[in-house]
Structure 1
Amino acid sequence: MIVRTTSFKNEDFIPSKYTCDGEDISPALEWDPVPNAKTYAIIVEDPDALGGTFIHWVIYNIPTNKLLEGIPKIFKSEFGIQGVNDFGRIGYNGPCPPRTHPPHRYFFYVYALDSVLKEIKNVTADELKSMMKGHEIDKGFIMGKYKRK
Protein backbone atom coordinates (compact mmCIF):
# COMPACT_ATOMS: atom_id res chain seq x y z
CA MET A 1 0.00 0.00 0.00
CA ILE A 2 1.42 3.38 -0.98
CA VAL A 3 0.68 6.31 1.34
CA ARG A 4 0.70 9.85 -0.06
CA THR A 5 0.24 13.40 1.17
CA THR A 6 0.13 16.75 -0.57
CA SER A 7 1.54 18.27 2.64
CA PHE A 8 5.15 17.05 2.24
CA LYS A 9 7.25 14.64 0.17
CA ASN A 10 8.23 11.25 1.56
CA GLU A 11 11.45 11.56 3.63
CA ASP A 12 11.34 15.37 3.34
CA PHE A 13 10.73 17.97 6.05
CA ILE A 14 7.22 18.45 7.42
CA PRO A 15 6.05 22.09 7.16
CA SER A 16 5.67 23.80 10.56
CA LYS A 17 1.91 24.17 9.92
CA TYR A 18 1.58 20.50 10.97
CA THR A 19 3.75 20.85 14.11
CA CYS A 20 3.64 22.43 17.56
CA ASP A 21 5.37 25.47 16.04
CA GLY A 22 2.42 26.11 13.70
CA GLU A 23 -1.29 25.29 13.60
CA ASP A 24 -0.61 21.73 14.83
CA ILE A 25 -3.18 20.24 12.45
CA SER A 26 -3.06 16.82 10.84
CA PRO A 27 -1.85 16.69 7.22
CA ALA A 28 -4.06 15.43 4.41
CA LEU A 29 -3.36 11.75 3.78
CA GLU A 30 -4.36 9.34 1.03
CA TRP A 31 -3.47 5.72 0.37
CA ASP A 32 -4.20 2.97 -2.11
CA PRO A 33 -7.59 1.35 -1.48
CA VAL A 34 -7.11 -2.25 -0.39
CA PRO A 35 -9.53 -4.92 -1.64
CA ASN A 36 -11.65 -6.39 1.19
CA ALA A 37 -10.60 -3.68 3.65
CA LYS A 38 -13.56 -2.66 5.82
CA THR A 39 -11.70 0.13 7.65
CA TYR A 40 -8.27 1.71 8.02
CA ALA A 41 -6.20 2.84 11.01
CA ILE A 42 -3.33 5.30 11.36
CA ILE A 43 -0.63 5.49 14.01
CA VAL A 44 1.99 8.24 13.82
CA GLU A 45 5.27 7.39 15.55
CA ASP A 46 8.51 9.24 16.33
CA PRO A 47 11.15 6.54 16.92
CA ASP A 48 13.84 9.17 17.62
CA ALA A 49 12.38 10.44 20.91
CA LEU A 50 14.69 10.16 23.91
CA GLY A 51 12.41 7.92 25.97
CA GLY A 52 11.67 5.57 23.07
CA THR A 53 8.99 5.71 20.38
CA PHE A 54 6.61 8.64 20.94
CA ILE A 55 3.05 8.41 19.59
CA HIS A 56 1.57 11.50 17.89
CA TRP A 57 -1.73 10.16 16.56
CA VAL A 58 -4.02 7.16 16.95
CA ILE A 59 -7.10 6.95 14.72
CA TYR A 60 -9.04 3.90 13.54
CA ASN A 61 -12.29 2.74 11.93
CA ILE A 62 -11.50 5.18 9.12
CA PRO A 63 -14.15 4.39 6.48
CA THR A 64 -12.32 5.67 3.37
CA ASN A 65 -8.80 5.67 1.89
CA LYS A 66 -8.17 9.34 2.58
CA LEU A 67 -8.30 11.94 5.33
CA LEU A 68 -8.62 15.67 4.87
CA GLU A 69 -6.25 18.11 6.51
CA GLY A 70 -7.13 19.17 10.04
CA ILE A 71 -9.17 16.28 11.44
CA PRO A 72 -11.06 17.56 14.54
CA LYS A 73 -9.44 16.49 17.81
CA ILE A 74 -12.46 14.60 19.15
CA PHE A 75 -13.06 10.97 20.12
CA LYS A 76 -15.60 10.08 17.42
CA SER A 77 -16.45 11.68 14.08
CA GLU A 78 -17.27 10.67 10.52
CA PHE A 79 -13.48 10.34 10.02
CA GLY A 80 -13.03 7.61 12.65
CA ILE A 81 -12.31 6.95 16.31
CA GLN A 82 -9.33 8.78 17.81
CA GLY A 83 -7.27 7.54 20.69
CA VAL A 84 -4.82 9.14 23.06
CA ASN A 85 -1.36 10.23 21.91
CA ASP A 86 1.72 10.42 24.14
CA PHE A 87 0.96 14.07 24.91
CA GLY A 88 -2.06 12.64 26.77
CA ARG A 89 -4.50 14.22 24.30
CA ILE A 90 -7.16 12.95 21.90
CA GLY A 91 -6.35 13.32 18.20
CA TYR A 92 -3.32 14.56 16.31
CA ASN A 93 -0.48 16.52 17.86
CA GLY A 94 2.38 17.06 15.47
CA PRO A 95 6.14 17.01 15.72
CA CYS A 96 7.59 18.93 18.66
CA PRO A 97 11.11 17.60 19.33
CA PRO A 98 13.44 19.42 21.73
CA ARG A 99 15.14 22.35 19.96
CA THR A 100 18.57 20.90 20.73
CA HIS A 101 17.85 17.63 18.88
CA PRO A 102 18.78 16.81 15.31
CA PRO A 103 15.79 16.17 13.02
CA HIS A 104 13.36 13.48 14.21
CA ARG A 105 11.57 11.13 11.83
CA TYR A 106 7.78 10.81 11.87
CA PHE A 107 6.22 7.66 10.43
CA PHE A 108 2.57 7.86 9.37
CA TYR A 109 1.63 4.16 9.36
CA VAL A 110 -1.63 3.22 7.65
CA TYR A 111 -3.18 -0.20 8.29
CA ALA A 112 -5.90 -1.80 6.13
CA LEU A 113 -8.21 -3.91 8.30
CA ASP A 114 -10.73 -6.61 7.47
CA SER A 115 -13.21 -5.46 10.13
CA VAL A 116 -14.65 -2.58 12.11
CA LEU A 117 -12.99 -2.53 15.53
CA LYS A 118 -14.69 -2.02 18.89
CA GLU A 119 -14.99 1.63 19.93
CA ILE A 120 -12.81 2.24 22.95
CA LYS A 121 -12.41 5.66 24.56
CA ASN A 122 -8.84 6.81 25.19
CA VAL A 123 -7.31 3.83 23.35
CA THR A 124 -3.52 3.92 23.16
CA ALA A 125 -1.38 2.89 20.20
CA ASP A 126 -0.35 -0.33 21.97
CA GLU A 127 -3.98 -1.20 22.70
CA LEU A 128 -4.95 -0.48 19.08
CA LYS A 129 -2.10 -2.66 17.82
CA SER A 130 -3.43 -5.52 19.99
CA MET A 131 -6.97 -4.96 18.67
CA MET A 132 -5.69 -5.03 15.06
CA LYS A 133 -3.86 -8.37 15.47
CA GLY A 134 -5.28 -10.88 13.03
CA HIS A 135 -7.20 -8.15 11.15
CA GLU A 136 -4.38 -6.49 9.15
CA ILE A 137 -4.65 -7.00 5.40
CA ASP A 138 -1.98 -4.52 4.35
CA LYS A 139 0.20 -1.74 5.73
CA GLY A 140 2.06 1.25 4.33
CA PHE A 141 3.68 4.45 5.52
CA ILE A 142 5.03 7.83 4.62
CA MET A 143 7.82 9.43 6.64
CA GLY A 144 8.55 13.10 7.23
CA LYS A 145 11.25 14.79 9.29
CA TYR A 146 11.18 17.83 11.55
CA LYS A 147 13.70 19.93 13.43
CA ARG A 148 12.71 22.91 15.56
CA LYS A 149 14.56 26.17 15.02
Structure 2
Amino acid sequence: MEGKLAEYRARKRMATVKQSLYNMVTLSSQQHVGYKDGNISNSSFISHTTDDAESIESNSREDEITSPKLTPFTVTMYTLYILLWATVYAIAIHLEFGTVYLIVSILYAIWKNTRTGPKKQGEISAYSVFNPNCEAIDGTLKAEQFEQEIRYGAGAVH
Protein backbone atom coordinates (compact mmCIF):
# COMPACT_ATOMS: atom_id res chain seq x y z
CA MET A 1 0.00 0.00 0.00
CA GLU A 2 2.85 2.39 0.85
CA GLY A 3 4.41 1.67 -2.54
CA LYS A 4 1.20 2.64 -4.31
CA LEU A 5 0.95 5.81 -2.28
CA ALA A 6 4.56 6.73 -3.06
CA GLU A 7 3.95 5.99 -6.75
CA TYR A 8 0.83 8.16 -6.70
CA ARG A 9 2.71 11.04 -5.07
CA ALA A 10 5.49 10.79 -7.65
CA ARG A 11 2.98 10.83 -10.52
CA LYS A 12 1.16 13.75 -8.90
CA ARG A 13 4.41 15.73 -8.57
CA MET A 14 5.28 15.01 -12.20
CA ALA A 15 1.80 16.09 -13.32
CA THR A 16 2.15 19.29 -11.32
CA VAL A 17 5.51 20.05 -12.93
CA LYS A 18 4.15 19.33 -16.40
CA GLN A 19 1.07 21.47 -15.73
CA SER A 20 3.15 24.39 -14.45
CA LEU A 21 5.40 24.18 -17.52
CA TYR A 22 2.31 24.11 -19.74
CA ASN A 23 0.88 27.13 -17.90
CA MET A 24 4.15 29.00 -18.28
CA VAL A 25 4.37 28.33 -22.01
CA THR A 26 0.72 29.13 -22.74
CA LEU A 27 0.51 32.11 -20.34
CA SER A 28 -2.31 30.34 -18.57
CA SER A 29 -2.98 29.97 -14.85
CA GLN A 30 -5.74 27.39 -15.20
CA GLN A 31 -5.13 24.06 -13.49
CA HIS A 32 -6.81 20.83 -14.43
CA VAL A 33 -8.00 18.24 -11.91
CA GLY A 34 -6.96 15.30 -14.10
CA TYR A 35 -3.90 15.10 -16.27
CA LYS A 36 -4.74 13.00 -19.30
CA ASP A 37 -1.29 12.61 -20.85
CA GLY A 38 0.29 11.57 -17.57
CA ASN A 39 -2.43 8.95 -17.03
CA ILE A 40 -3.43 10.42 -13.69
CA SER A 41 -7.10 9.98 -13.06
CA ASN A 42 -7.92 11.28 -9.61
CA SER A 43 -11.25 9.53 -9.23
CA SER A 44 -9.98 6.07 -10.24
CA PHE A 45 -6.88 6.17 -8.08
CA ILE A 46 -8.64 7.24 -4.87
CA SER A 47 -10.48 3.93 -4.55
CA HIS A 48 -7.14 2.07 -4.26
CA THR A 49 -5.59 4.17 -1.50
CA THR A 50 -6.04 4.54 2.23
CA ASP A 51 -7.78 7.31 4.16
CA ASP A 52 -4.49 9.22 4.30
CA ALA A 53 -4.27 9.28 0.53
CA GLU A 54 -7.91 10.33 0.31
CA SER A 55 -7.24 13.28 2.60
CA ILE A 56 -4.19 14.19 0.51
CA GLU A 57 -6.32 14.03 -2.61
CA SER A 58 -9.13 16.14 -1.15
CA ASN A 59 -6.61 18.75 0.00
CA SER A 60 -5.03 18.92 -3.45
CA ARG A 61 -8.46 19.27 -5.07
CA GLU A 62 -9.30 22.17 -2.77
CA ASP A 63 -6.02 23.83 -3.72
CA GLU A 64 -6.77 23.42 -7.42
CA ILE A 65 -10.23 24.94 -7.10
CA THR A 66 -9.06 28.09 -5.33
CA SER A 67 -7.68 31.01 -7.24
CA PRO A 68 -4.02 30.86 -8.19
CA LYS A 69 -1.58 32.47 -5.77
CA LEU A 70 0.97 34.99 -6.98
CA THR A 71 4.39 33.66 -6.21
CA PRO A 72 7.59 35.62 -6.85
CA PHE A 73 8.22 33.34 -9.83
CA THR A 74 4.88 34.14 -11.47
CA VAL A 75 5.30 37.87 -10.81
CA THR A 76 8.75 37.71 -12.41
CA MET A 77 7.39 35.79 -15.40
CA TYR A 78 4.54 38.26 -15.93
CA THR A 79 7.01 41.15 -15.68
CA LEU A 80 9.25 39.52 -18.28
CA TYR A 81 6.27 38.91 -20.58
CA ILE A 82 5.22 42.56 -20.31
CA LEU A 83 8.78 43.75 -20.98
CA LEU A 84 9.06 41.44 -23.98
CA TRP A 85 5.74 42.69 -25.35
CA ALA A 86 6.76 46.34 -24.83
CA THR A 87 10.12 45.74 -26.56
CA VAL A 88 8.50 44.10 -29.58
CA TYR A 89 5.89 46.90 -29.62
CA ALA A 90 8.66 49.53 -29.68
CA ILE A 91 10.31 47.69 -32.57
CA ALA A 92 6.96 47.52 -34.37
CA ILE A 93 6.46 51.26 -33.89
CA HIS A 94 9.93 51.92 -35.29
CA LEU A 95 9.04 49.80 -38.33
CA GLU A 96 5.71 51.73 -38.65
CA PHE A 97 3.80 48.55 -37.85
CA GLY A 98 2.75 49.51 -34.31
CA THR A 99 -1.00 49.80 -34.86
CA VAL A 100 -1.23 46.37 -36.47
CA TYR A 101 0.85 44.86 -33.64
CA LEU A 102 -1.39 46.51 -31.04
CA ILE A 103 -4.58 45.24 -32.70
CA VAL A 104 -3.20 41.72 -33.05
CA SER A 105 -2.10 41.82 -29.41
CA ILE A 106 -5.58 42.88 -28.29
CA LEU A 107 -7.22 40.14 -30.37
CA TYR A 108 -4.81 37.58 -28.90
CA ALA A 109 -5.60 38.77 -25.37
CA ILE A 110 -9.33 38.47 -26.06
CA TRP A 111 -8.89 34.98 -27.51
CA LYS A 112 -6.66 33.88 -24.62
CA ASN A 113 -9.15 35.09 -22.00
CA THR A 114 -12.05 33.14 -23.46
CA ARG A 115 -12.36 29.53 -22.47
CA THR A 116 -11.45 27.30 -25.38
CA GLY A 117 -11.49 24.00 -23.46
CA PRO A 118 -14.42 21.89 -22.34
CA LYS A 119 -16.45 22.94 -19.32
CA LYS A 120 -15.92 21.30 -15.96
CA GLN A 121 -18.08 18.38 -14.92
CA GLY A 122 -21.25 19.61 -13.22
CA GLU A 123 -20.81 23.20 -14.41
CA ILE A 124 -23.98 24.68 -15.84
CA SER A 125 -24.03 26.57 -19.10
CA ALA A 126 -24.80 30.27 -19.42
CA TYR A 127 -27.45 29.27 -21.95
CA SER A 128 -30.29 27.75 -19.97
CA VAL A 129 -31.54 25.59 -22.85
CA PHE A 130 -28.41 23.43 -22.50
CA ASN A 131 -28.89 22.84 -18.75
CA PRO A 132 -30.99 20.10 -17.14
CA ASN A 133 -34.57 21.33 -16.65
CA CYS A 134 -33.54 24.56 -18.47
CA GLU A 135 -32.05 25.84 -15.21
CA ALA A 136 -30.79 29.42 -15.52
CA ILE A 137 -27.68 30.79 -13.84
CA ASP A 138 -27.95 33.43 -11.10
CA GLY A 139 -28.43 36.94 -12.42
CA THR A 140 -30.28 35.92 -15.56
CA LEU A 141 -33.31 38.06 -16.39
CA LYS A 142 -36.11 35.64 -17.23
CA ALA A 143 -39.32 36.54 -18.99
CA GLU A 144 -41.37 35.62 -15.90
CA GLN A 145 -39.27 37.91 -13.71
CA PHE A 146 -39.52 40.75 -16.21
CA GLU A 147 -43.29 40.32 -16.39
CA GLN A 148 -43.58 40.42 -12.58
CA GLU A 149 -41.52 43.59 -12.43
CA ILE A 150 -43.72 45.24 -15.04
CA ARG A 151 -46.98 44.29 -13.28
CA TYR A 152 -46.08 44.62 -9.60
CA GLY A 153 -42.91 46.71 -9.51
CA ALA A 154 -39.30 45.78 -8.87
CA GLY A 155 -39.99 45.06 -5.18
CA ALA A 156 -42.23 42.11 -6.04
CA VAL A 157 -39.32 40.01 -7.26
CA HIS A 158 -37.06 38.38 -4.70
* TM-score, reference length from structure 1: 0.22
Structure with higher Rg: it is 2
Larger relative contact order (CA 8 Å, sep ≥ 6): 1
* TM-score, reference length from structure 2: 0.21
Higher strand share: 1
Higher helix share: 2
